[in-house]
Amino acid sequence: MAAHDKEALELFEQGLSYEQIRERLGLRTTKQVNHAIDRARKARQDPPPSTDLTAAIREALKRPVARGILCDRLKISDRILTAAIEDLRESGIQVVETDGELSLCRDVVPEENIHEAPWSGEKVIRFAFAGDMQINSKFTQLTHLHHFYDICQSEGISVIYNPGDIDEGEDMRQGHKYECYNQGADDHVAEIVKNFPARPGIKTYFITGNHDHSLIKRAGYDIGHAIAQKRDDLVYLGQSFATINLTPNCILELRHPIDGTAYAISYKTQKMIDAMHGGEKPNILAIGHYHKAEYIFYRNVHAFQTGCFQAQTNWMRGKQIAAHVGGWIVEIHVTDEGTVTRCKGEFIPYFRAIKDDYLNWR
């Protein structure tokens, strides 16, 4: 809409003729006045993006489509389309535009996810680790997870870091859907928003893992954004890994690998740290994915495998993969400059899985 369109419509509604409006606005022809009024009327009538509209766009983007063709098909303006696409992106739908065509991106694109944690010079910093909840799995342990959050609250913990797989995802392998008690990305998100622990004074900072990413690969849907949009206490830090500067001289890295587990618990952690360049290692490394609990100090890295809140599944049992259910409370001591001098962790284990625990939260 041109700058004078709205004024042209207002003058017309005041009773001025096209010729009077042309003279008032300095336009060359009355035809320009007519077009200006039409554009202003159309802009006034354009509805805001609705749920039905975004759903229609989401459906249309399953195949690449030119922007103009999509506008014609949905009978909307380019401005409304742009606004609706931004709404979709904020809700986690990965919409990309390539050579004038819009489509869903079903790729997990590596990014640098660097974040600054507030630090006002404290000498002792306390936080917790809890990951691999696999909510929407019939084996998730929500009762134990809520109990762990109760412990954190009673201990004065205000920050919990989650290294991925907040969700069980979909179609991870043949027959996987029978291990899930919800189907469809929207229902998965709704379940997490409803039943993930919420405690006054506690915020959870999370990345997404390979199970969460199954919904990107299937539908171009990054549920991390959708969850964070609906829960202020759940802060999304990015896909697969994130770096958090706890102090100017203390780096925490959250990482969710994509490879398989090993028979020796410490093997994956050691090989991961071995692959890091000198001078680029974090001070603290929190590793999800393997469903193991471990702490080692290796190559000057305090490394934690963060455990899980999913009982051993039938698939894991067949693969002889154990599940270490529980989470960590961690305390570090730092110098005036923020350099780590001491680190201690307490693992809170849950030895007995609750069968069909998800039913207790329906």
Which CATH number is 51-104 given? 1.10.10.10
Q: In sequence order, what E strands does the chain have? A: 65-66, 95-98, 101-104, 114-116, 124-129, 159-162, 203-208, 234-239, 241-247, 250-255, 284-287, 293-298, 301-306, 326-334, 340-349
What is the pLDDT averaged over residues 164-181? 93
Helices (H) and strands (E) in the chain, counts: 12, 15
**pTM of this structure:** 0.82
Give the pLDDT confidence of 227-249 residue by residue, as tens digits. Answer: 999 999 999 999 999 999 999 99
Reading the block at residue 187, the tokens are 């229902």
Q: How far is CA 349 from the centre of its chain?
A: 27
What is the pLDDT averaged over residues 160-173? 95
**Residue 91 predicted with pLDDT over 60:** yes
**Residue 316 predicted with pLDDT over 80:** yes
Report the share of the chain in percent with pLDDT over 90.
Answer: 60
Reading the block at residue 260, the tokens are 């398989």
Q: Do domains 51-104 and 114-361 have the same CATH topology?
A: no
Q: Domain map of the chain by residue range?
A: 5-45, 51-104, 114-361
**Residue 43 predicted with pLDDT over 80:** no
What is the pLDDT averaged over residues 298-311? 97
Which CATH number is 114-361 given? 3.60.21.10
- Angle (nearest 5°) at CA 163 between 157 and 207: 105
pLDDT score, position 351: 94
Rounded Cα gap, residues 252 and 242, in angstroms: 8
**Residue 251 predicted with pLDDT over 80:** yes
